[in-house]
Amino acid sequence: MSVTAGAALRRATERLRAAGIEAPAREARLLLGLAMGLPDGAVPDPGAAIDVGRFEFLLARRAAREPLALIRGTQGFWTLDLKVSAATLIPRPDSETLIRAALAALPDRTAVRRVLDLGTGTGALLLAALAEYPHAWGIGVDVVPEAVVLAAENARRVALAGRAMFVVGCWAASLAGQFDLILTNPPYIESCGIGGLAPEVAAHEPRSALDGGTGGLQAYRDVIPDLPRLLTPDGVAVLELGFGQVEAVGALAAQQGLRRVALHPDYGGIARALVLGHRRS
């Protein structure tokens, strides 16, 4: 069946509105552009004839609250366009705070040589850091094998595969050596709070990327004790925090002899990136 883009858009907007999507007209336009194979952000011509079957397929997925990024298959992060999948978290703009924090703590772009990303997911943090530190190489670790495959694919996609390697592992357990920069955005949602998140997150992103256990702090308890042995003397670790976790995570770091170097707010003003280093003697 062939209908015009304008008519299809009006119906699609109503359908997405009924499904509880916040910006239904904008998303209907994006999905139609996708169905028509238009370049990102191009506005469909209202008079153009469209392939209704393909548009319907994409629309049904979004009406079921599947995230737009998963439907599109890609997500922008920092300067990079990354592939995403249901194996791990879709990179969030607020996680870019970790890259800003790293650049503020380690401003000499040529001095950073070794970068570690614990819970790498799509590889977003490691690849963004490698893009900023041209002499660095890095390792990304994730417990989900499909995430590791995805991260490696992203490294090739953004032409950084020569400086990035990805391994399946449980946090830093199997790692030796020292790193100038350690990045981690661990799962930090309290287990009981996951059901209350938006359907896009609760039903479509994996628990392995979200669930921080009781109180949301389990991953920090697992990761922080390894940081002192993994950091070079002047190195820093940048940890993403959930809302209201500054004090608790700061206390875990202090117990391991680490000092707070800085704390950076995200785009919404929430304390998001905690920078830690060795205590000065």
Residue 46 DSSP class: T
Q: How far is the CB of 258 from ligand SAM (least distance, A)?
A: 20
Footprint on residues 130-149 left by ligand SAM (CB under 6 A): 141-144, 147
Residue 54 DSSP class: H
Q: Does 7 bind ligand SAM (CB under 6 A)?
A: no
Taking CA atoms, 94 is separated from 72, 191, 243, in Å, by 20, 21, 12
Q: Does 13 bind ligand SAM (CB under 6 A)?
A: no
H or E stretch including 139? strand 137-142
- Binder of ligand SAM out of 75, 95, 154, 245 (CB under 6 A): 95
HSE on the CB side for 139, CA within 13 Å?
Answer: 18
- Binder of ligand SAM out of 124, 129, 158, 224 (CB under 6 A): 124
Q: How far is the CB of 88 from ligand SAM (least distance, A)?
A: 4
Which region among 8-16, 47-55, 115-123, 250-258 touches ligand SAM (by CB under 6 A)?
115-123
The C-alpha atoms of residue 180 and residue 31 are separated, in whole angstroms, by: 42
Q: Does 121 bind ligand SAM (CB under 6 A)?
A: yes
Which region among 26-34, 152-160, 180-188, 257-265 touches ligand SAM (by CB under 6 A)?
180-188
Nearest to 210 by CA among 238, 191, 183, 184: 191
- Binder of ligand SAM out of 4, 178, 208, 256 (CB under 6 A): 208
Q: Does 75 bind ligand SAM (CB under 6 A)?
A: no
The C-alpha atoms of residue 266 and residue 210 are separated, in whole angstroms, by: 19
- Binder of ligand SAM out of 24, 44, 67, 91 (CB under 6 A): 91
Residue 156, C-beta contacts closer than 8 angstroms, at least 6 positions apart: none
Q: What count of residues does the chain have?
A: 281
Q: How far is the CB of 23 from ligand SAM (least distance, A)?
A: 23
The C-alpha atoms of residue 47 and residue 133 are separated, in whole angstroms, by: 48
Footprint on residues 214-273 left by ligand SAM (CB under 6 A): none
138 within 8 A of 162, measured Cβ to Cβ: no
Give first-to-last CA distance, the chain, whole Å: 74
Q: How far is the CB of 256 from ligand SAM (least distance, A)?
A: 18
- Whichever of 8 and 118 has its CB closer to ligand SAM, that residue is 118
The C-alpha atoms of residue 32 and residue 190 are separated, in whole angstroms, by: 37
110 within 8 A of 87, measured Cβ to Cβ: no
- Whichever of 31 and 118 has its CB closer to ligand SAM, that residue is 118
Q: Does 154 bind ligand SAM (CB under 6 A)?
A: no
The residue ranges that bind ligand SAM (CB under 6 A) are 88-89, 91, 95, 119-122, 124-125, 141-144, 147, 170-171, 185-187, 208-209
